[in-house]
Amino acid sequence: DAEITQSPRHKITETGRQVTLACHQTWNHNNMFWYRQDLGHGLRLIHYSYGVQDTNKGEVSDGYSVSRSNTEDLPLTLESAASSQTSVYFCASSQRKGMKDGYTFGSGTRLTVV
């Protein structure tokens, strides 16, 4: 069965370190998205990609970067982790066009920056 997998599920890192969160999907979806979820803020879009070599900034992109070298993966990198980036991160994917099935979400990565 097709799936979308995030790893790790939990991570603790120190302020200033570079951290990469993985997202891998086997749906063959062109569109991939990264969100962060914080209490009181719902889901906020960090970065998204509509295909290989395509990346775009979302509403809270400062301090984050992504790269899309293949269809299956969209890793999210925190260049220099800050305590304000402590959050739960969700990756999602969707088909090329239309919203017939909406987004499919991963199970999330809980990141703590100490």
Partner 1 sequence: GQQLNQSPQSMFIQEGEDVSMNCTSSSIFNTWLWYKQEPGEGPVLLIALYKAGELTSNGRLTAQFGITRKDSFLNISASIPSDVGIYFCAGQLGNAGNMLTFGGGTRLMVKP
State the Cα–Cα distance between residues 60 and 41, nearest whole angstrom: 12
Q: How far is the CB of 44 from partner 1 (least distance, A)?
A: 9
Binding site for partner 1 (CB under 8 A): 31, 41-43, 48, 50, 59, 90, 92, 94, 96-108
Cα–Cα distance measured from residue 19 to residue 52, given in angstroms and rounded to the nearest whole number: 22
Cβ of residue 110: shortest distance to partner 1, in angstroms?
Answer: 9
Q: Which is nearer to partner 1, 15 or 107 (CB)?
A: 107
Q: Token digits for 86?
A: 């402590």
